[in-house]
């Protein structure tokens, strides 16, 4: 018996594997690969897919699971950490983009409802593509990375009310005020149910299910919660996607959210792929070739206007112009949630015919160009900053005092006030070393200045900022930021402004060491390298390797770099697992009991080495450690002996540390 849907699934996945492989080699995002799969396999392409309706049903499941996982991952605490970027920056970006798009659509003769809806669609960017690229480039924790993350989080949240009001925009309620009130009442009722479920019902249910330790039962319970809430909102006249988001929100408030997310992610990835494939299937390639000029013009317009608006919103947050450029260029595309929203628009008649095809065409193109734009963004920012721009714009509009350094000579300049910068500043303060911190996050600067920290706002990639910090008379500069491109630029500028300063640069990856040394850094500290050093130091310490040998190895590794570390031969090492080298020796610990015959006697008197062939390495007495105790040390009740010797000998010594009665009792 032939099953058309099964045939189509095999075709979709087989074609996806081939296209995604090529996309990976070309560093094109996975989402673009799925869109291309749909274009090729769909009715406007090669026509390989027959059960188009069934594929769209699977795509709807993908949307539900995608919104469900967004709800689970949503964290009010996480939002509060970047509240300014998310709430202020995100709202500015969405509102300004919406307004500009609305005005342009109206000027082109579109109805008010369609213009509003187009504003919704264009205001959203791709969380999946942008975050993946930021993670690959290790700049998520940089100032522009945190700002981008905050704006994307706001967009992910605002999609919910956008979906909610889409029927109202389309006039699905008939324009009746009563219908609007009914919809609002339903929404309030659903939100009340969510609050009650999140606080009292779901945590108890999941607790009882988790106690069974049955993985299948837990997974099914999570899926039932997701689909049940989605069905409830759909039955109330709201969207499935809204219900899925609320279901995720319910589970996110329980202690089982991470476990639930881990179970759902594989299903989400599979079904979400169907969603993007189904979007690609809807794109009429013939339309793209019939109107290439119009599509290219709109695509270019989106890629220019959206970065300008997002960059302007970032400028209003007080960030330097370079950060604003990087944020704007990263958010220039149309996002995956716009596709989800577009489906609702099609259902309610807001997108039809050529308008929908035009939207699909330029959206796919903006997403496809995003990886290349983000890669070129630092270079583009440097070129723009060469223009004769106002200094106030370049440095940012954040109201801070001019950088002042207490000591005009031999001071320390710390660039970046993350974890590493804070630790350096704390050490400098405790040691009485004069220092100044330069930080690009205005909120951090305001907070730390209020606490008396010598921290100043500025973009260290600008020479004027470093000159204000008296770079020419500084003894040491420590660069501790997360942006690799900015780190290179700062290194080059510092070395040019002060050839004698000792420049210490922190970087994430080992491959960054050589370029930074070539630019003039004196010391480059790769984080992954130092992490490995710390790990093997602790491992060798636990294996009781002599401290001087560990320090020699650390010095050797740091001087030669990872090449030496990789080439270490097992045969050439002078130490290894203690049990492998000394299989007949162990270290044991014994506590002296109250009735032990050893109480009050010295080590010389009990002669453990002569009688039993064991050695007392150390004695722990209360909170004090007596290492290598001398022969006249007397043993006391509750002393803990660290004894080295053969297992059978240490077993005999164990009998001396307590009386037979104590041994039986124990």
pLDDT at position 73 over 80: no
What residues form DSSP beta bridges with 412? 435, 476
Cα separation, 455 vs 416, in Å, equals 10
pLDDT at position 94 over 90: yes
Domain with CATH 3.30.70.1450 in the chain: 584-665
* Whether 461 contacts 450, CB under 8 Å: no
Q: What is the DSSP letter of 657?
A: S
- Give me the pLDDT at residue 256, please: 79
- HSE of 611, CA atoms in CB hemisphere, 13 A: 11
pLDDT at position 612 over 90: no
pLDDT at position 268 over 70: yes
* Whether 233 contacts 243, CB under 8 Å: yes
Can you tell me which residue has the tokens 């400028």?
315
CA-wise closest residue to 464 among 358, 527, 391, 523: 391
pLDDT at position 570 over 70: no
CATH code: domain 399-529 is 3.40.50.720
- Give me the pLDDT at residue 142, please: 80
Q: 421-478, pLDDT tens digit by residue?
A: 999 999 888 888 889 999 888 878 888 888 888 888 888 888 888 888 889 889 999 9
Cα separation, 178 vs 182, in Å, equals 6
Domain with CATH 3.40.50.720 in the chain: 399-529
pLDDT tier for residue 577 given thresholds of 50, 70 and 90: very low
- Give me the pLDDT at residue 582, please: 55
- Give me the pLDDT at residue 398, please: 61
pLDDT tier for residue 377 given thresholds of 50, 70 and 90: very high
What residues form DSSP beta bridges with 479? 415, 505
- Give me the pLDDT at residue 201, please: 85
* CB contact set of 663 (below 8 Å; sequence gap of 6+): 655
Q: What is the DSSP letter of 594?
A: T
Domain with CATH 1.20.1530.20 in the chain: 4-24+33-164+257-383
Cα 532 to Cα 215, 516, 529, distances in angstroms: 35, 20, 5
Q: What is the pTM of this model?
A: 0.69
Give the pairing of strands 640-645 and 615-621. Answer: antiparallel
Q: What is the DSSP letter of 384?
A: H
- Give me the pLDDT at residue 104, please: 94
* Whether 601 contacts 550, CB under 8 Å: no
Q: What is the mean pLDDT of the chain?
A: 81
Render 492-508 in DSSP notation, one character per residue.
HHHHHH-TTSEEEEEES
Q: 328-367, pLDDT tens digit by residue?
A: 999 999 988 888 888 888 888 888 778 888 998 898 889 8
Q: Which fold has domain 4-24+33-164+257-383?
A: Na+/H+ antiporter like fold (1.20.1530)
Assigned CATH class of 584-665:
alpha beta
Average pLDDT over residues 512-520: 88
């Amino acid at each position: 018996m032939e099953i058309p849907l099964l045939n189509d699934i095999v075709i979709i996945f087989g074609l996806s594997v081939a296209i995604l492989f090529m996309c990976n080699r070309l560093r094109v995002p996975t989402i673009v690969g799925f869109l291309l799969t749909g274009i090729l396999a769909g009715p406007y392409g090669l026509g390989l897919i027959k059960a188009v309706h069934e594929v769209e049903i699977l795509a709807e499941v993908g949307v539900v699971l995608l919104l469900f996982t967004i709800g689970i991952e949503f964290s009010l605490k996480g939002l509060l950490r970047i509240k300014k970027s998310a709430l202020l920056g995100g709202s500015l970006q969405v509102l300004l983009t919406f307004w500009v798009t609305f005005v342009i659509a109206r000027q082109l003769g579109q109805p008010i409802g369609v213009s509003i809806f187009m504003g919704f669609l264009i205001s959203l960017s791709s969380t999946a593509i942008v975050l993946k690229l930021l993670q690959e480039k290790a700049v998520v924790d940089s100032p522009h990375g945190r700002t981008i993350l905050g704006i994307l989080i706001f967009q992910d949240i605002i999609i919910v009310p956008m979906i909610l009001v889409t029927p109202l925009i389309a006039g699905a309620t008939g324009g009746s005020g009563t219908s609007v009130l009914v919809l609002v009442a339903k929404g309030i009722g659903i939100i009340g149910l969510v609050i009650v479920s999140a606080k009292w019902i779901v945590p108890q249910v999941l607790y009882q299910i988790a106690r069974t330790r049955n993985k299948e039962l837990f997974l099914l319970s999570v899926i039932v919660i997701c689909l049940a809430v989605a069905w409830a909102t759909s039955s109330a006249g709201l969207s499935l996607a809204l219900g899925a988001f609320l279901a995720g929100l319910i589970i996110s408030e329980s202690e089982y959210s991470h476990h639930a997310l881990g179970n759902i992610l594989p299903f989400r990835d599979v079904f979400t792929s169907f969603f993007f494939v189904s979007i690609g299937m809807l794109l009429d390639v013939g339309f793209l070739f019939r109107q290439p000029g119009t599509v290219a013009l709109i695509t270019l317009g989106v890629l220019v206007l959206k970065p300008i608006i997002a960059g302007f919103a970032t400028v209003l947050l007080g960030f330097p112009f370079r950060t604003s450029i990087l944020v704007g260029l990263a958010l220039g595309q149309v996002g995956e949630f716009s596709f989800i929203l577009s489906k609702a628009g099609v259902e309610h008649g807001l997108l039809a015919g050529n308008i929908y095809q035009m939207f699909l065409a330029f959206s796919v193109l903006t997403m496809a160009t995003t990886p290349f734009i983000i890669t070129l963004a630092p270079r583009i920012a440097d070129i723009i900053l060469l223009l004769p721009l106002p200094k106030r714009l370049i440095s940012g509009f954040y109201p801070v005092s001019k950088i002042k350094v207490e000591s005009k000579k031999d001071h320390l300049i710390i660039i970046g006030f993350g974890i590493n910068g804070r630790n350096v500043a704390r050490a400098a303060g405790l040691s009485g070393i004069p220092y100044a911190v330069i930080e690009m996050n205005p909120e951090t600067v305001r907070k730390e200045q209020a606490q008396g920290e010598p921290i100043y706002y500025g973009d260290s990639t600008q020479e004027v900022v470093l000159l204000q910090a008296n770079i020419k008379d500084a003894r040491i500069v420590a660069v501790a930021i997360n942006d690799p491109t900015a780190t290179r630029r700062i290194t080059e500028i510092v070395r040019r402004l002060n050839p004698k300063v000792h420049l210490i640069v922190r970087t994430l990856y080992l491959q960054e060491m050589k370029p930074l040394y070539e630019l003039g850094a004196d010391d480059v500290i790769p984080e992954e390298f130092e992490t490995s050093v710390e790990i093997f130091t602790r491992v060798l310490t636990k294996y009781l390797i002599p401290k001087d040998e560990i320090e020699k190895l650390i010095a050797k590794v740091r001087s030669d770099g990872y090449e030496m570390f990789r080439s270490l031969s097992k045969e050439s090492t002078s130490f290894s697992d203690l049990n492998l080298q000394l299989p007949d020796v162990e270290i044991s610990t014994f506590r002296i009991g109250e009735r032990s015959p050893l109480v009050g006697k010295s080590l010389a008197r009990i002669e453990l080495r002569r009688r039993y062939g064991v050695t007392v390495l150390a004695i722990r007495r209360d909170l004090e450690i007596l290492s290598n105790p001398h022969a006249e040390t007397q043993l006391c009740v509750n002393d803990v002996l660290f004894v080295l010797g053969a297992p059978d000998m240490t077993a005999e010594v164990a009998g001396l540390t307590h009386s037979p009665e104590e041994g039986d009792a124990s």
